[in-house]
């Protein structure tokens, strides 16, 4: 498959960089599109510079039957790009989005087609409608110098409340068990979730020096396992950076590759933790950030009002969220080392940007500092 001819080594090594040539993509999509749409014409195709951490995003406009259709194509990564995750089931993601769209009022992109065959583009892909709006940026973090940090307190409150309401609505959807990884014999949904995270870490650390901090994290999880409430469909990557907003309300919920069957606390803790991750970065850079946004106690109260459910054992789930993020960060840094963008540190725990947060959460001291 032809690759992008970028000479920037940082672009080659980025977890989000494309390794597909836009002209090759345009030609292949022009061959495929007539199989699903009548006499289509592609009028625009580009690969955004800020691409996703997992599947690759292609922006495309196509015309058929006298109408212009603004589209987004999500494509599984190529094997030679050393993907962040070991597998990518885009057809499953497509079907989960479709299920949530049909069974809830959650704002989602319009779905067009799923192509599980890797023949047309060298990997499976799906096509959805493009949604206009604003996304809280990861780089630089939305906690400073962004449309979120420059908004009024009232606007940010609207964003937070509507996001929590969206998560509660997702949890209210019927569970599509045929689309999710279910627990094995004798497993609970949470224990199955932890097992899959351990399997991901084993894959990510194969042939490399592992992280003692992550190993201690798994031990901490085993020693502090909570009782589980009723499992739900979880979004998996429930954070504001995966939402397109218009007027500070969700216009489209994105990125369903981490969707799972498990306790509702998984999503709520991920929402709170990922904001704290970006808030800690702001404070590290001696900026005020957004300390009053997505505060733990506020989110818990908002979720209870939206769902009718009281969350439990949130200390556990927040610490577990920090461990999940540690494994992902370890994998991303391993990938950068693989491509020559970074050198492996003497202490492999330094591959985890938020190692001090993980350590403090396991020690039970993190939230004392935040409060």
Question: Which residues are identified as catalytic?
Answer: 237
Q: How far is CA 328 from CA 50, 83, 113, 201, 308, in A?
A: 18, 12, 29, 8, 32
C-alpha radius of gyration, the chain, whole number = 21
Q: How many CA atoms lie within 13 A of 27 on its CB side?
A: 7
Contact by Cβ (8 Å): 28, 121: yes
- Quote the strand ranges of the chain, DSSP E: 41-46, 56-64, 67-75, 111-115, 125-129, 232-234, 243-246, 249-253, 260-262
Token pair for 342: 């970074």
The count of other CB atoms within 10 Å of the CB of residue 342 is 15
C-alpha closest to that of 254 among 123, 130, 160: 130
Residue indicated by tokens 């020690």: 363
Token pair for 207: 């042939």
Specify the DSSP class assigned to residue 33.
Answer: G
Specify the DSSP class assigned to residue 94.
Answer: H
SS3 12: helix
SS3 134: strand
- What are residue 46's DSSP bridge partners? 59
Specify the DSSP class assigned to residue 323.
Answer: H
Q: How many CA atoms lie within 13 A of 100 on its CB side?
A: 30
325 Cβ contact list (under 8 Å, min separation 6): 273, 274, 277, 354
Alpha-carbon distance 92 to 94, whole Å?
5
Alpha-carbon distance 354 to 364, whole Å?
15
Alpha-carbon distance 212 to 20, whole Å?
36
């Amino acid at each position: 498959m032809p690759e992008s001819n970028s000479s920037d080594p940082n672009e080659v090594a980025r977890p989000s960089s494309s390794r597909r040539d836009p002209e090759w993509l345009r030609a292949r999509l022009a061959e495929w599109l007539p199989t699903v749409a009548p006499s289509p014409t592609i009028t625009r195709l580009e690969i955004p510079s800020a691409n996703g951490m997992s599947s690759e995003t292609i922006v495309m406009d196509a015309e058929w039957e006298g109408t212009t259709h603004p589209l987004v194509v999500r494509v599984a990564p190529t094997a030679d790009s050393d993907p962040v995750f070991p597998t990518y089931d885009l057809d499953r993601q497509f079907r989960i989005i479709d299920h949530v769209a049909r069974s809830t009022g959650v704002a989602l992109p319009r779905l067009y087609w799923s192509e599980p065959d890797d023949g047309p583009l060298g990997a499976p892909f799906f096509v959805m409608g493009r949604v206009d709006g604003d996304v809280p940026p990861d780089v630089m973090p939305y906690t400073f110098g962004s449309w979120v940090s420059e908004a009024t307190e009232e606007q940010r409150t609207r964003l937070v409340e509507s996001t929590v309401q969206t998560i509660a609505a997702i949890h209210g959807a019927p569970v599509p068990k045929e689309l999710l990884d279910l627990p094995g014999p004798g497993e609970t949904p949470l224990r199955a979730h932890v097992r899959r995270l351990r399997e991901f870490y084993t894959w990510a650390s194969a042939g490399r020096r592992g992280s003692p901090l992550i190993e201690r994290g798994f031990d901490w999880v085993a020693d502090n396992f909570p009782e589980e409430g009723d499992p739900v469909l979880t979004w998996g990557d429930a954070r504001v950076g995966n939402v397109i907003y218009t007027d500070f309300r969700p216009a489209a919920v994105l990125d369903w590759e981490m969707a799972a069957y498990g306790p509702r606390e998984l999503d709520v803790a991920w929402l709170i933790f990922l904001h704290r991750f970006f808030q800690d970065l702001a404070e590290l850079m001696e900026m005020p950030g957004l300390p009053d946004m997505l505060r733990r106690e506020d989110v818990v109260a908002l979720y209870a009002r939206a769902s009718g459910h009281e969350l439990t054992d949130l200390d556990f789930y927040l610490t577990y969220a920090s461990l999940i993020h540690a494994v992902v960060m370890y994998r991303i840094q391993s990938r950068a080392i693989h491509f020559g963008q970074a050198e492996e540190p003497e202490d492999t725990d330094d591959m985890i940007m938020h190692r001090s947060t993980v350590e403090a959460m396991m020690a039970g001291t993190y939230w004392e500092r935040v409060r």
